[in-house]
Each structure stands twice: as structure tokens, then as C-alpha cells.
A and B are shown apart, each in its own frame.
Chain A
């Protein structure tokens, strides 16, 4: 189908021969996204190996995650898994040409993603309140690398989820999403107490707003099923990475209270 579509486009625009046939039966942006994800998997792979190595080589590794944290992380996992299902349904709706349901499913995916970010932010805030920093932790002073590896790994993932939510918002709502994003950014900045790290972390939304604005104004277009499918690949990758972070970070450091 990709071949046929490309040939049709080429003929329709009077540029027969101007477009190369797809190399792997897919659009170049889909191949490009796959290659980006392959390279990004190495970033997370290195961080996960570093975390696991530190975890296994330190018998005094802290185990601060009690029932509340594990329950919270399990709900976060369920949110991401459910978001992947709604993303798949969104891709199907886009391929059917059903614009309303495409938007609805993408919005549902964004809601699950936002729930994940909020729950993760609460978890971070709780740990920071207990005295955990990137350089120290109150549970095992002899293992200062716990904070550094935890915040780097989960922070990188949270950033990816945030980018994913913005990406889906742009695909689903295009320019209509920009004022919403701006409102969340400004509102969040004033509503989150200055003592909370996310008072400053929410500026990631500001950066996302700038990038999304530049992209939308430089190349305004009505995103089609291919764009939805490619954005879905990114979103599923974010889900995929969490499938390794959740057991390695949380379940390997479970606090058992007998």
C-alpha cells in the first residue's frame, strides 16, 4: 500500500520518477522513527545497565519503596499499558479516516500519560521530602549513587513521556493545542509551590511549547494516519522502556514491612 500511495502521489503531482520507492515497504518517516527509537534504546540501555550494576554490586542498596510506592508505581504501569491500547485504537481510527475517534483516542492516551506524569511527580516529591537528593539518601549514606541513578533514569523517562504527550497533542489538535499547553505551563508554574522541584521542572512544557509552535508554524499541515502511526511508535517505546524501569528500579528495591 505504501508503494501504491507513493506512486499515486508522484503521478498526481506530475513528478513521476521524482520519488524513490520505499526501502522497507514503509514511509521514510516511519523508518526514521524506528531508527531514532533504536538509537534511543541505547541511551536507556546504558542507564539501565548502570542502575542494575550499582544495584547488584551494593549489598547495602537502599530499599525505600514500601507498599504505597509500589502501589503507586503499579498504577503508573497500568496507566502506560492502557495508554498503549488507546494509542493502537487511535491508529486504527486514523486508518479508517475517522477523525473524531482519532482525536478521542489520542486524548485518552494523553490523559493516561498525564496521569503517569502526575503520579510520578508525587512519588518524586515524596522521596525528596524524605531527604533524597541526586547525591545522597537518608536510608543508606554509604550508597550515594542511589539518588543519582534513580533521578537520572526516571527523570529521563519522565521527560520522554512529557514530550510524548506534547507530540500527541500536536498531532491530535494541531494549533488548538498551543494555548492549552501555554495555560498548563503558566498555571502549573503559579500553582506548584516554589519549594517543589516541579515548580521549575514545569518549564519543560515551555520549551515544548516553543518547539511545537515552531514546528506547527513552519509546516502547518493536517496530520494524517501515517503521522498518527509514527507518533504511536514513539508512545509505545516510552511504554516499553518503563517495562524495564519499573521492575529494576522499584521491584528490586521493595521495602518489606513484616
Chain B
């Protein structure tokens, strides 16, 4: 709650973030429906856009941008560490995709 006074007066930025999220969603729908890329490349592009959208949600809507740096870094590093550990569990199987020859 230390952040109440610091960002209450700039409420407009949340409307901009909301608009940006809607625009990014529209781009995703356009890419998906036009099937601009092959499945693997499409997955990469859609995931990249999703990461941008999630960063906006976490940073602004969840107010992590306004938290203390210690809490911010602790949470981000914890989640990243967990995903790295999880990645090593999935990596052997995920690598098989390349050998399966899926285009």
C-alpha cells in the first residue's frame, strides 16, 4: 500500500494499457486467422506477443512496477527459476519435436 499516492493520480495510464492489450489481441487474432506463419513459427510469434501482454498486466494491473525493487526482483526471479527447473523436465521431450520433422 506504499504505492497508493504515487500512481492514483495517473489513472489514465491504465486505460492506455487496456487499449494496448486490446490492440495486441487484435493483432494476434489477425495473425492466427490469416495463418501468416507455419505452426512452429506461429507458436513463437504468438508466445512473444503473449509475453508482452502478460508483462503489461503484471507491471501495471498487478502493480508490480510500483512495488519495492526487492519484492519485484524476488518474485520475478522466483518464477523464472521455477520455469527454468520445469523447462529441464520438459526439455528432453520438447527436443524430440525437431527430430520428428514437424514443419
Complex Cα–Cα for A24 and B6 (A):
17
- Give the contact stretch, choosing among A8-16, A53-61, A189-197: A53-61
Instruction: Tell me which residues across on chain A come within 8 A of B29, comparing CB atoms.
Output: 70, 74, 251
With A1-B2, A46-B86 known as contacts, the answer to whether A85 contacts B57 (CB < 8 A) is no
The listed residue (B11, B25, B93) touching A92 by CB distance below 8 A is B11
Instruction: Tell me if B1 and A2 are in contact (CB < 8 A).
Output: yes
Contacts of A1-55 to chain B: CB distance below 8 A:
1-3, 5, 24-27, 31, 34-35, 38, 41-42, 45-46, 49, 52-53, 55
Instruction: Tell me which residues across on chain B come within 8 A of A74, comparing CB atoms.
Output: 25, 29
Complex Cα–Cα for A2 and B4 (A):
10
Complex Cα–Cα for A2 and B2 (A):
6
Counting contact residues on chain A (CB < 8 A from B), the size range is 35 or more
Report whether over half of chain B's contact residues are helix, strand or loop; otherwise say mixed.
helix
The listed residue (A53, A85, A254) touching B15 by CB distance below 8 A is A85
Instruction: Tell me if A57 and B102 are in contact (CB < 8 A).
Output: yes
A178 in the interface (beta carbon within 8 A): no
Instruction: Tell me which residues across on chain A come within 8 A of B18, comparing CB atoms.
Output: 81-82, 84-85
Complex Cα–Cα for A96 and B5 (A):
10
Q: Which residue of B lies closest to A250 (CB)?
A: B32
Q: Which residue of A lies closest to B30 (CB)?
A: A251
Closest chain-B Cβ to A85's Cβ sits at a distance in Å of 4
Contacts of B41-66 to chain A: CB distance below 8 A:
42-43, 46-47, 49-50, 53-54, 57-58, 60-63
Q: Which residue of B lies closest to A235 (CB)?
A: B61
The listed residue (A46, A95, A236, A254) touching B4 by CB distance below 8 A is A95
Complex Cα–Cα for A56 and B31 (A):
17
Instruction: Tell me if B96 and A252 are in contact (CB < 8 A).
Output: no
Complex Cα–Cα for A104 and B62 (A):
20
With A88-B14, A237-B62, A244-B54 known as contacts, the answer to whether A42 contacts B86 (CB < 8 A) is yes
With A56-B40, A252-B46 known as contacts, the answer to whether A240 contacts B57 (CB < 8 A) is yes
Question: Total A-B residue pairs with C-beta atoms closer than 8 Å?
Answer: 151
Q: Which residue of A lies closest to B45 (CB)?
A: A247
Instruction: Tell me which residues across on chain B come within 8 A of A125, comparing CB atoms.
Output: none
Instruction: Tell me if A95 and B8 are in contact (CB < 8 A).
Output: yes
- Give the contact stretch, choosing among A145-153, A200-208, A225-233: A225-233
Complex Cα–Cα for A196 and B42 (A):
34
Q: Which residue of B lies closest to A52 (CB)?
A: B43
Q: Which residue of B lies closest to A225 (CB)?
A: B1
Closest chain-A Cβ to B26's Cβ sits at a distance in Å of 8
Closest chain-B Cβ to A241's Cβ sits at a distance in Å of 9
Instruction: Tell me which residues across on chain B come within 8 A of A5, comparing CB atoms.
Output: 1
Q: Which residue of B lies closest to A50 (CB)?
A: B90
Q: List the 6 shortest-distance A-B pairs measured between CB atoms, nearest first.
A: A251-B32, A24-B71, A247-B46, A25-B68, A1-B2, A85-B18
10 CB contacts below 8 A, A to B, read A1-B5, A41-B82, A78-B22, A85-B14, A85-B18, A232-B61, A233-B62, A237-B62, A251-B42, A252-B42
Q: A25-B68, A38-B78, A251-B31 are in contact. List 13 more A-B contacts (CB 8 A).
A: A1-B3, A26-B2, A34-B75, A56-B39, A56-B43, A85-B61, A225-B1, A236-B57, A236-B61, A236-B62, A240-B54, A248-B46, A248-B47
